[in-house]
Structure formats: structure tokens, C-alpha cells
Structure 1
Amino acid sequence: MAPAPVRPAARVATQQQDVWSIINEAAAASPIQPIVNMGQGFFGYNPPKFVTDAAKSALDRVECNQYSPTKGRPRLRKALANAYSPFFGRTLDPETDVVVTTGANEGMLSAFMAFLEQGDEVIVFEPFFDQYISNIEMPGGKVVYVPMHPPASGATKTSSAAEWSFDIAAFEAAISPRTKMVVINSPHNPIGKVFSRSELTAIGEICVKHSIIILSDEVYDRLYYVPFTRIATISPEIAALTITVGSGGKIFYCTGWRVGWLIGPKELIKYASAAHTRICYSSVSPLQEATAIGLEEAEENGFWEESKREMKGKMDSFNKIWDELGLPYSDPEGGYFVLVNMSRVKLPESYEFPSHVANRPRDFKLAWFLIMELGVAAIPPTEFFTPQNAHIVEDYLRFAVCKDDEVLETAKERLRGLKKYID
């Protein structure tokens, strides 16, 4: 008698191929090489020299190659407290208000593991970073979705990413007795929206009313081009419920380092820290040290303003191609992603797509077509919506501009190949 087949847990048993593997495998198979990969948000260049020098020197120090304290290296926690205290309007205690995590993603998982019991609900705005969903479901949480919508003119004219909106009444209506947390992302991936102070105040006050924990994903917090409000700064009552997520990989161009952090009141951080200890115990020591030095030296190197100026320059330069082609986009207020509406792009009726793309929304077909015919990879954003709301973005693609200027120019030249498909 044959043994019963191994049965995976439901949380990992899905058979649908994820967007990252579809796009990366297509990029590798494209007849146009080298591919211009503007899909995943990894940088096409190194961190600044003062940060890489710090990493190299840390590798020569014995203590930096051994276990760090579970809450993070003291130097990094102190550097984070010093760097972020002015933003939060209070003196952060590096011992109690900060925990270092293995990337922002593990930090968010730690927060969910710390507070969610089986059946607890978490409100997430669509579009969402896809890792939110699995991180919430791992400890048994249930995701409740509130969609954001582009402006009515999004298919016909370029507009600010600020014009993506949500219904605050729908947000409050999504709250139930099981609602434990809400996730906010500002600056937002993939929209590029920076939530306004009034939007954050409305969300925060509702969370205070219902005692809901706020997980504020602010990993792009050094890349904003309009006034940026941190929800934890709006009122003491909102701050008491808020855990803020940050990322060394995002701010220093080193996504592979996997150094992140959580900042918040000790009454919340102590539980997230306990969960982090059980998930991975501690994070990479030499890269923590390098991140600490980066935070200590960034200001004197003029890095923060230079970083914003350079990324905004890349964004503005790249987006000229959409103006040239007459394709509208959501002009980002922060981050390094841009959503482009391609409803005017007419795919050839006879074009053959593989089955795993053919049965997906139109944006997957657009992404496949660009990869195979133009040699440019982008991400279909319906992956960041529930199936019932995927229609909201089925004509959009997301492009990451955190690439060398030469790569961006190559992308623009290749994208001119869309002209013959635009009506």
C-alpha cells in the first residue's frame, strides 16, 4: 500500500505561480537580452561609499562577526534612536523603543506574530505589498481589505499619486469586534502616494476609538517629494497604538542586507521583540554595525537630501517617456515606483500568451508583451489586489526607477517601440 502523499499546510499550498517568479522567469527567457529589469525594486547601484566602507571595516572586527543581542546591536539601536527622535517629537529610548529585525519584512511578521491570535482581523488597503498577506495569515490572522481607487481621469491624463483615494466610511465599516490591527504604507508601494495628514488623522482617530494597533510601513521614509507626515506624530493617543517599520536596505540602497527595525512605545515593542527573538533570534551583525555608522554619518555627508534629489531626478527623467508616448501615469509623491496606465496600448489580437499568463488579468499580458517584444520588465499590480478588485488596475504597470541613468535611458529607447501599438 502506497504511503499517503505529503500534505503541505494550507498557508503554503497555493498552486498559483507568484508574480515575481513569472516576471523573472520571463525576463530570463526573453529573446531581447540583456533585459532592462524595472520590475522588482532592487537598486542598480551600490550604497554610498561611507556605508560600504563601514561594512568592510566591520568584517575585520571579531565582535561584529558574532551573535548580536536579540534586540539589535547597541550601536545601531542608539543610532536609530538619535536619528528618529527628532521626527517623533520625543526622545526614543534605544533599550525599549527600538528593535532591529532581519529586514522590514521580518519586522512586520514579528509584529503580527506578537499580537494576532487565530481569527483576529487586520485591515489592509489595496493595493498592498504582497508579503503583508502571508505574514498576517501565518499566525492565523484574517485579512480584511479596503480598496484605494485612482482618479476617474486616471486612464486619460497624468495626475498626482495623491489623487488615489479611499472611503473613510468604508474603512470604519470594515472594523469588527475581531479587528486587531491596521496596516498603512506611506510613502506607498506601488502607488507612490504619501498619505496626507488629514487622511492619517482620520484613520488614527478611528483606531483610537476602537483600540486598534497601527502598523505603519514607512520603509521609503527618506524618499518623499512632498510634505511627509508620520502617523505616530499626530497625537499621543495615536502614537500609543503605533508601531513604525523602517528599512536600512531601502534608505541606503542595500536591499540584500536585510536590516530593518520597529520603533514604537515600549508597551508594544517588547512583544514584537519577543516574537522576533523566537523567529530568528538575532540579525546579521556586521551589517547592523555598518547601518549604524551609516545613520551616524549620513547627515554630515549630505546624503538624505542628495538621495531625494537624485531619485526625484531619475523619476522625472524616466517619466518623460510617458509624456512622449501620451500614456498617463500617477506622478509619485515618494518612493521609486511609478504606475503607468496602458489602456491605450492595444495588444495584437493574435498574440499567444502562455497559459499561466493568459488566465491572468490584462496587466500580466501587458507585462509579458513588454518583456518579450521590447525587453523591458515591469510588474503587473493586480497581484497587489484581491481578485474582485483587480479590475481597478488591470490597465496599469509598475516600473521601478532605482536604476543607473544609462539603464533608464535604454528603457526609454526600448519603450518607444510601443508607439505602433498605441491607438
Structure 2
Amino acid sequence: MSERPLLNRRLDGFGTTIFAEMSALAVKTGAINLGQGFPDTDGPEEIREAAVRALRDGKGNQYPPGPGIPELRMAVTEHQQRFYGLTFDPDTEVLVTAGATEAIAATMLALLEPGDEVIAFEPYYDSYAACISMAGATRVPLTLRAPDFRPDLDALRDAITPHTRLLLLNSPHNPTGMVLTRDELTAIAELAVERDLIVVTDEVYEHLVFEGEHIPLISLPGMRDRTVSISSAGKTFSFTGWKVGWVTAAAPLVTAIRTAKQFLTYVSAGPFQYAVAEALRLPDSYFIGFRDELGVKRDLLAGGLTDAGFEVYRPQGTYFVTTDVAALGEKDALAFCRSLPERCGVVAVPNSVFYDDPKPGRTQVRFAFCKRESVLREAVARLGQL
């Protein structure tokens, strides 16, 4: 066999994800897993039953339509209208995907070519870097810095070159919990119009905003035809294994993304699509209660981490808390996270792996609080041993 590497060079450096590594470590050691962002309880019982009913009724057991079942596409448009006053055509401006991760991958593969540049906030969700690389484009990081992780809009303007094709934004932001303000979004929108850029927005934590508000960039002047808005059911309804996401955008953008998506999964999650359509129509009390419940858990974990000696950056949204372990005398977040299960029986994730230049995040560690309160209390007690 030739000496050429087996792995495509575009994926060089993208080995096992940090989430898989840390979750495996949790299983191996029996530690409490506050690393990977999945709940330890299922979402609403009536939505789980809706999936069972769809299975029994033969709905979605065979290939669903490529763009997604009509019921879900309609429910997505109703959701966008209900929460944000946005109007979309369910037949031409909505695309159902295998979670937001596939939506991001299909979008990058559809809209980027070699030589294009993509500006993305760092620290970034790890699939962003891989998807941009697979598309042959170049990632240009815009670093969000502690303690408030606000984007430097002057630096954003300076980062744009004639090769910049799109901006990839995430708000509420994983892992920092930053939520973009209306002023920041307005400035980004004006810049995108001025420089004729496409903007892709990852909004999977849209219903988990504790301070401020979630404002879809696509709702701002000049952005309707140049924004790809991505969200999913996993984080909002606590069924992360169902992998049901969606894209809402102008018809030409959706057509382009669908062209790439059809050669990735083609279709997925047939019966679950029917259940998610029902979930999106749950009353306001569900969405408010879900947010408030997570807010209590945020305060519980953030307070416990502070008492344990961590420097805590209180998140405005998402279900993650970013901390700094330098206050504990630590110098390397990755080494700290690898040793933490043995030291006190808790697993977390180092933010440093989400940076191109790891220096700004070298001592930052992320903890997930989407767990039962009893689990969080036990984790806090264990972390107090540090």
C-alpha cells in the first residue's frame, strides 16, 4: 500500500471528538458526565408517545419525502411565525435534516468552494471546523475572550477579505453561553449587506436564553435572502438521539443546501419527524417552564463551581457553564479534564480544543447542567473536594 495517509488530508487533525473521548472516560471510571451536552432524562411524555404512535401507524417507517414530511415543515414555519413573526414557505423555504450537525455540513458543502474563507466565532462547536475543511474552504477565527465573550466587531470587519464567502455564527453560543444583542446583530447584518456575505446561524439553543433575548439574524433588514437559519429539536425537547433538525432560508439557498443534503443522509428519522411536529406546537408554558427549569440548574451548578474555587463565567444562554481552572492552580484544561474523573469522579470538557489558537482557552473548562438536580448536587459535592 502506498505511503499516502488513509484519511483524507482535509480531515487531518480531526480524530475522535473530545465529546466521545470524555464520555468514554465517564463510562470507564463511573464518573458523573457533565461533559457531553445531552440530558439524563427524556423530554415530554406526550411527544415520546407521539413517536410511538407514528411507528405503530406506519408513519415514517419508509422513506419520508426528501425535504421532510409536510407536517413538520408546516410546524417549523408556524414556530418561526409564532416566536419571531417570520414567514416562510413550507414547500420551498424549509429543509429537514439529520440534526443541526447535518444541516451545517450540507450548508458548508453546498455553499463553499476551495479558496473561500469562513469567519466563525471561536471557541466553536467542533463540527464547524471539520465541515469547513471538508468543503475545502479556510476557517478564519474571530476569538471571543473572557470574561464576557462579546464579539469584537472591529476585528470582524478587519477579518473580511475578498475571499470571505460567509459568516458562521452561533447564538446562544456553545460553549461560552454568550447571547448576541440586538445592537451586535444589527452591526453584523449591516456588515453582511455591505460586503455581500452569506450568514449561517446555528440557533439550536434558541429557547434557552436566561438573560437577554434570542433574535434571529434573518429577521433583520437585508438578511432575509442571505441568511441560513439552522435549529433542531434535540436541545429544546430533550430527545437528542432523534436527530431532527431543520434549515429555514430563502428558496434559492434551501435548494442549494438540499442538493448537498440528499447525498448525505438523503432522509432520516421518519417517525420522529411526526413527533417533533407535535412538539413544536406545544403551548408557551412548555417553553417557559423548560427555560426556567434549566435556569435553576444553571444557578445550582454555577454556585457550586464558584464555591469549589473555579472562576465561573455565568452563561446568558445554552446549558453549559464555562469556567477557568487557573484559580485552582491548573495550567492546562485538557490535562485537568483527563485527570478529573480519577480525582473527584466528574467529567467535563476542555474549551481549549475549540480554538485554533488554544492560548485564550488554555485553562477554560466547560460543564453541562442539563442533568437531574440530584446529579448536579452530587457533582458539586464531588467538585468541592478539589
What TM bracket, shorter-length normalisation?
over 0.9
Distance 1:56 1:18 in 2: 32
Q: 1:370 aligns with which of 330, 340, 363?
A: 340
Offset from partner CA, 1:340-380 (integer Å, 9 cap, x none): 12212135xxxxxxxxxxxxx70011112221110100000
* Cross-structure match for 1:421: none
Q: Aligned ranges for residues 161-176 of structure 1 at < 5 Å?
A: 163-176=148-161
Q: 2:42 aligns with which of 43, 46, 49?
A: 46
* Cross-structure match for 2:56: 60
Letter in 2 for 1:364: L
Distance 1:176 1:63, change over 3 A: same
* Cross-structure match for 1:299: 283
Distance 1:5 1:198, change over 3 A: same
Distance 1:15 1:268 in 2: 28
* Cross-structure match for 1:379: 349
Q: Aligned ranges for residues 157-196 of structure 1 at < 5 Å?
A: 163-196=148-181
Is it true that 1:334 corresponds to 2:317 in the alignment?
yes
Q: Are the equivalent residues in 2 in contact too, given 1:88–1:232 (CA < 8 A)?
A: no
Report the alpha carbon displacement of residue 112 of structure 1 after superposing the two structures with TM. Answer: 1.0
* Cross-structure match for 1:411: 379
Is it true that 1:203 corresponds to 2:188 in the alignment?
yes
Distance 2:381 2:187 in 1: 44
Q: Aligned ranges for residues 21-420 of structure 1 at < 5 Å?
A: 21-30=20-29, 34-151=30-147, 163-226=148-211, 227-235=213-221, 237-296=222-281, 298-299=282-283, 302-346=285-329, 362-386=332-356, 388=357, 390-418=358-386
Report the alpha carbon displacement of residue 88 of structure 1 after superposing the two structures with TM. Answer: 4.0
Distance 2:4 2:82 in 1: 53
Distance 1:62 1:228 in 2: 37
Distance 1:277 1:39, change over 3 A: same
Structure 1, unmatched stretches of 5+, are 152-162, 348-360, 419-423
Report the alpha carbon displacement of residue 61 of structure 1 after superposing the two structures with TM. Answer: 1.7
The range that moved more, 321-330 or 372-381, is 321-330
Root mean square deviation, CA, Å = 1.6
Distance 1:71 1:17, change over 3 A: closer
Letter in 2 for 1:45: T
Q: Are the equivalent residues in 1 in contact too, given 2:117–2:137 (CA < 8 A)?
A: yes
Secondary structure at 2:185's aligned position in 1?
Answer: helix
Q: Are the equivalent residues in 2 in contact too, given 1:370–1:377 (CA < 8 A)?
A: yes
* Cross-structure match for 1:350: none
Letter in 2 for 1:265: A
Distance 2:60 2:28 in 1: 41
TM-score scaled to structure 1, two decimals? 0.87
Distance 1:4 1:323 in 2: 54
Distance 1:74 1:21 in 2: 34
Secondary structure at 1:343's aligned position in 2?
Answer: helix
Distance 1:27 1:88 in 2: 39
Secondary structure at 2:209's aligned position in 1?
Answer: coil
| Identical aligned residues as a percent | 33
Secondary structure at 2:60's aligned position in 1?
Answer: helix
Report the alpha carbon displacement of residue 250 of structure 1 after superposing the two structures with TM. Answer: 1.1
Offset from partner CA, 1:63-99 (integer Å, 9 cap, x none): 3211111000000000111111234433221111110
Distance 1:81 1:183 in 2: 22
Secondary structure at 2:125's aligned position in 1?
Answer: coil
Q: Are the equivalent residues in 2 in contact too, given 1:97–1:265 (CA < 8 A)?
A: yes
Who wins on radius of gyration, i.e. which is larger?
A: 1
Q: Are the equivalent residues in 1 in contact too, given 2:205–2:236 (CA < 8 A)?
A: yes
Distance 1:327 1:118 in 2: 42
Structure 2, unmatched stretches of 5+, are none
Q: Are the equivalent residues in 1 in contact too, given 2:11–2:134 (CA < 8 A)?
A: no
Report the alpha carbon displacement of residue 188 of structure 1 after superposing the two structures with TM. Answer: 0.5
* Cross-structure match for 1:354: none
Distance 2:269 2:41 in 1: 22
Distance 2:3 2:16 in 1: 21
Q: Are the equivalent residues in 1 in contact too, given 2:333–2:350 (CA < 8 A)?
A: yes
Letter in 2 for 1:283: S
Distance 1:53 1:63 in 2: 13
